[in-house]
Structure 1
Amino acid sequence: MAKFNLIRRRAPATTHEGGRGYRRDPKRELFLLAVTNLVGEGTFYERAADRDDRYARLVREVAAQDPAWTLAFLRWLRGDANMRSAALVGAAEAVRGMLTAGHPGGRAVVDAVLRRADEPGELLAYWTGAYGRAVPKPVKRGLADAATRLYSERSLLKYDTATKGFRFGDVLELVHAAPADERQGLLFRHAIDRRHDRGDHAGLPTVAAQAALRAAAADDPAVLLDPDALRAAGMTWEDALSLAGPRVDRRALWEALIPSMGYMALLRNLRAFDGAGVSDEVAGAVAAKLADPGEVARSRQLPLRFLSAYRAAPSLRWAYPLEQALGHSLAGVPELPGRTLVLIDTSYSMHSGFSRDGKLLRWDAAVLFGLALARRCAAADVVSFSSATRVFPRVPGESVLAAVQRWQRDGYFLGQGTDTAAALRDHVRGHDRVVVLTDEQAAADAHGGVHAAVPAGTALVTFNLAGYRHGHAPDPAPGRITVGGLSDQAFRLLPQLSGAAGAWPWE
């Protein structure tokens, strides 16, 4: 009796809502998952552990098959896409897959994703948690390269804290990084001594300056009101606030700190600045830095950060610079000729959390990117959809952030199910293209689903914001493309619809 040599039919793919689904090849599945993946965070349909396991499995599989593609992908993911945790986990799992398959190159993969001085310790913590204390040579050598490139006095003072499981000294003792020069050699020795509560800071002026400032602040916290002393000591705003406590006027302290604060620190503290009553002159300097295109580019903030800051800041004096900053961060959104239908999924599954503090939801991202895209269209119709639809009237000259607030205020977050195909049939009327911002988990449809609902001659762009396994339309296919992510980099794939070369945003 035959047992093995039989035709085995694969079960048809479906979305989580039972609609017709389409399988992706491993690279496309990995790409869409990575650019939407906040490691350790679940989604509406997928538990955090299951999502993280799927991501790790895909990275290992793809790295074993194509290590060169994996290196380019992870370098882009940490760089242009600015997905920090996904890139670190991806590098560790890629090395695991490459080692299993006997491929070299793991050292370059590790070094490529480490961009900040606390990240060697983060990657080491992930590896030992997943695979034990035996760290292979490619991981050690990549960590050593990064330590030499990233470790400095200021980064040590900022990131080497007692709350970390792996301190700078732990990394250095494990990987034996070669210092770039004599001064970094002193730093490495100090980091190891500091880890073991011994030694001094001879020859390290910034470390010595901070130690002196801390000692002086214990007797007279007013020394923390000197901007030059704070800068010379590499004092972070968190440390300065903690040292000062209630003994120093909070407005004066913020005004001393602001000149040396980084872009992200400023963005995070707008509400605190207002609460302390910082002067209009100081606030103007902050606003100018926030709106500066060069500063925005160097900060590499995700566009959603500006929406979060806009909602958190009580004062209107931040609204215009944040709108300008958002515009700079979305510089990659293309200009689209003709008529475009922008469908924004506000079904209940898009209500799931998108940030660790729960303040931003997946549909916030959909609305932000959808309205930003609509502004770049020669003509655009914008529709919110779930089980029903509602046309969003556009206001000439309205800023994207104000439009997002109006969307929320006027009830365009609909909830309910995800009837994508019905929304398309109701609203596609001679458009040149359709852009659907969604998690792709379309409901069952008796008329052929999402793919069939868009005429063959009309381009369908799916902007995926969840990275689930199955999509609602074939990808790739003529006139059909799926992009995804939390940054403007997703929009770099849109020119493919007009035949431009390049399958991935780093090509």
Structure 2
Amino acid sequence: MGDVLLARFNFKVRENRHELEEVTVVPLRTAAGGARRIVPQWVTEEGAPGFVRTPRLELYLLAVSYMVGEDAFYERAGGRHERFRELVRTVAVTDAEWFARFVPWLRLGAMLRSASVVAALEGAYAQVQAGIPGSRALVDAALQRADEPGEALAYWLSRHGRTIPKPVKRGVADAVRRLYTEKNLLKYDSAGAAVRFGDVVRLTHPVAVAPWQGDLFRHAVDRCLGRDRGVPDTLPVVRARAELMATPVEQRRAVTDPAVLARAGMTWEALAGWRQSTMDAAAWTSMIPNMGYFALLRNLRNFDEAGVGDDTAAVVAARLSDPAEVARARVLPMRFLSAYRAAPSPRWAEPLASALQHALVNVPALDGRVLILIDTSGSMSMPFSKDGSLLFWDAAAVFGLAVAARAAEPTVVSFSTGSRAFPEVAGESLLSGLDRFKDGYFLGQGTETRAAVQRHYDGHDRVVILTDEQASWHGDRNVAASVPGRVPVYTWNLAGYRLGHAPSGAHRHTFGGLSDAAFRMIPLVEAGDSDCWPF
């Protein structure tokens, strides 16, 4: 979740204990004797007919649900990662134009760091081998945070060795010119990284955009090599940090001037370590004016536990609920739900509810009657966030209820082995609706999608299914067979498994992703775009 997913490649000591494991798909045999049945070639993990996707669609769905180092309910991490790499290498060569649009969207639209870094580098590897141009721009587009050039090179060195092709070097160097600043050096250049800022500079030889950046590059190399040649005058933030670090430990708790801390590029993480003591209310109050939106969001519980006053909390609340701040931060909706569940104080409920509403402005306003089916089966209980606080069904519920909030006449249903309609409450916020959904509508059993569609479809104008698609088979090859062929059925796959629960075709569409921007595809499809992607 966006970035739920952190790039996880740049460590001095790494050990991958997952063995590579191929996805298991089992041919479905015909019955012995009697009339021969026509059967699909594959079955899902729950025994339902499985439908093989095109490489582009399979890659798209896997990418938007990609979690480095994480098992899925039905698929081991090693096999999942290898499938992702193979799909990337195939599509990057067979459809380079589509791939050139896909990678930037994956990073900037879907906001997925790890998936975009791996896709860019493996795609570049395949394109260089095939003599296809464009890899430099791909690599540059995937690197949008200052630690990512080092992450990318650490990944490349571990996967492909020390020979780095020119397009990859130049793409990383382009990103370095955009991203390497004084504050970013202080924030992201960690001594624990296998590939530090100075290593990146030495490997890619970026051309500085200005004299100060050239001095920064040289200073980064000095830091990396342990050379103490002082801080140039052209780097005032780095100099201010060095002066602050020279403050005796016993005097550090008294430094609470936000301007002093800002001049030294102090983040709340750096301040906590520098003080060598617990972050109390005074420390948080001194940092809050300089904290970014995401940092505020993830520390609400810490503010409460430290006893941050109501006046300061009101400032935080105003920033959290400011539509402009929400738009600039581009925080994924799941983060608001995670913050809401983690923050013990009711003073955050209203601003978080407002922020979530602002974050979902891209969900289309749908006319007519819409049937929204949210999969709450056992396989949807797998961790969606790294800390396990959010599950896949949480993601399904957020987006399902968001679509319902923007639809003219919605019908929301939770389904598993059975199904339950979720009644609408007038004026209820999305976060309150999620609480109510969690308390009584998580069913946690099998995945009887066909039965849920058949039971609840009643002349609706469109159907939206949020699921991992691993339906159980009950004698019907098509889970949406009870919906007339002229009625659009949209499946949002949140897990990215190889096989789908229904064939794609006219008025039957399978998408994926955790970005609300993806929902803009519904109006595009209905407007007649036959090759519809969110990029």
Residue in structure 2 matched with residue 5 of structure 1 by the alignment = none
Partner Cα separation in structure 2 for residue 59 and residue 256 of structure 1: 46
Query: Do residues 209 (structure 1) and 240 (structure 2) align?
Result: yes
Partner Cα separation in structure 1 for residue 530 and residue 487 of structure 2: 21
Paired residues of 1:386 and 1:417 also in contact (CA < 8 A): yes
Query: Do residues 323 (structure 1) and 353 (structure 2) align?
Result: yes
Residue in structure 2 matched with residue 503 of structure 1 by the alignment = 531
Q: What percentage of residue pairs aligned between the two structures are identical? A: 53
Paired residues of 1:289 and 1:295 also in contact (CA < 8 A): yes
**Structure 2 residue aligned with 1:238, among 261, 269, 282?**
269
Residue in structure 2 matched with residue 30 of structure 1 by the alignment = 59
Q: Which amino acid aligns with 1:75?
A: P
Paired residues of 2:249 and 2:276 also in contact (CA < 8 A): no
Partner Cα separation in structure 2 for residue 481 and residue 333 of structure 1: 17
Partner Cα separation in structure 2 for residue 149 and residue 423 of structure 1: 50
**Structure 2 residue aligned with 1:282, among 280, 297, 312?**
312
Residue in structure 1 matched with residue 343 of structure 2 by the alignment = 313
Partner Cα separation in structure 1 for residue 393 and residue 442 of structure 2: 8
Query: Do residues 466 (structure 1) and 499 (structure 2) align?
Result: no
Partner Cα separation in structure 1 for residue 430 and residue 335 of structure 2: 14
Q: Which amino acid aligns with 1:441?
A: Q
1:390-443 residue CA offsets vs partner (Å, 9 max, x unmatched): 111121111111111111122x11111101001111111111111111001111
Partner Cα separation in structure 2 for residue 295 and residue 149 of structure 1: 22
Tell me the CA shift for residue 452 of structure 1.
Answer: 1.4
Partner Cα separation in structure 1 for residue 248 and residue 400 of structure 2: 50
1:216 aligned counterpart, secondary structure: coil
Q: Which amino acid aligns with 1:270?
A: L
2:49 aligned counterpart, secondary structure: coil
Q: Which amino acid aligns with 2:490?
A: V
Residue in structure 2 matched with residue 263 of structure 1 by the alignment = 293
CA RMSD for the aligned pairs? 1.5
1:341 aligned counterpart, secondary structure: strand
* Higher mean displacement: 112-121 or 477-486: 477-486
Partner Cα separation in structure 1 for residue 195 and residue 377 of structure 2: 42
Paired residues of 1:217 and 1:223 also in contact (CA < 8 A): no
* Structure-2-length-normalised TM-score: 0.90
Q: Which amino acid aligns with 2:451?
A: A
2:373 aligned counterpart, secondary structure: strand
Pairing of 1:185-204 with structure 2 (within 5 A): 185-198=214-227, 199-203=229-233, 204=235
Residue in structure 2 matched with residue 356 of structure 1 by the alignment = 386
Residue in structure 2 matched with residue 127 of structure 1 by the alignment = 156
Query: Do residues 482 (structure 1) and 510 (structure 2) align?
Result: yes
* Structure-1-length-normalised TM-score: 0.95
Change (3 A) 1:302 1:200: same
Query: Do residues 446 (structure 1) and 475 (structure 2) align?
Result: yes
Partner Cα separation in structure 2 for residue 90 and residue 502 of structure 1: 25
Change (3 A) 1:217 1:355: farther
Residue in structure 1 matched with residue 124 of structure 2 by the alignment = 95
Change (3 A) 1:226 1:502: farther
Partner Cα separation in structure 2 for residue 14 and residue 126 of structure 1: 34
Paired residues of 1:374 and 1:382 also in contact (CA < 8 A): yes
1:193-244 residue CA offsets vs partner (Å, 9 max, x unmatched): 0111212212210000011111115241134311111111000101111222
Residue in structure 1 matched with residue 114 of structure 2 by the alignment = 85
1:394 aligned counterpart, secondary structure: coil
**Structure 2 residue aligned with 1:117, among 135, 146, 151?**
146
Paired residues of 1:213 and 1:223 also in contact (CA < 8 A): no
Segments of 5+ residues of structure 2 without an aligned counterpart are 1-37
1:20-50 residue CA offsets vs partner (Å, 9 max, x unmatched): 2211110111111111112222210111111
Residue in structure 1 matched with residue 184 of structure 2 by the alignment = 155
**Structure 1 residue aligned with 2:251, among 220, 223, 227?**
220
Paired residues of 1:224 and 1:244 also in contact (CA < 8 A): no
Paired residues of 2:462 and 2:487 also in contact (CA < 8 A): yes
1:68 aligned counterpart, secondary structure: helix
Partner Cα separation in structure 2 for residue 271 and residue 502 of structure 1: 46
Partner Cα separation in structure 2 for residue 488 and residue 54 of structure 1: 26
Higher helix share: 1
Moved over 4 A (4+): none
Residue in structure 2 matched with residue 6 of structure 1 by the alignment = none
Paired residues of 1:224 and 1:240 also in contact (CA < 8 A): no
**Structure 1 residue aligned with 2:322, among 289, 292, 303?**
292
Paired residues of 2:320 and 2:355 also in contact (CA < 8 A): yes
Paired residues of 2:48 and 2:477 also in contact (CA < 8 A): no
Change (3 A) 1:92 1:261: same
Paired residues of 1:345 and 1:386 also in contact (CA < 8 A): yes
Tell me the CA shift for residue 459 of structure 1.
Answer: 1.6
Paired residues of 1:217 and 1:224 also in contact (CA < 8 A): no
Partner Cα separation in structure 2 for residue 174 and residue 290 of structure 1: 40
Query: Do residues 402 (structure 1) and 413 (structure 2) align?
Result: no
2:408 aligned counterpart, secondary structure: strand
Residue in structure 2 matched with residue 4 of structure 1 by the alignment = none
Pairing of 1:408-427 with structure 2 (within 5 A): 408-410=438-440, 412-427=441-456
Change (3 A) 1:212 1:10: farther
Partner Cα separation in structure 2 for residue 60 and residue 178 of structure 1: 30
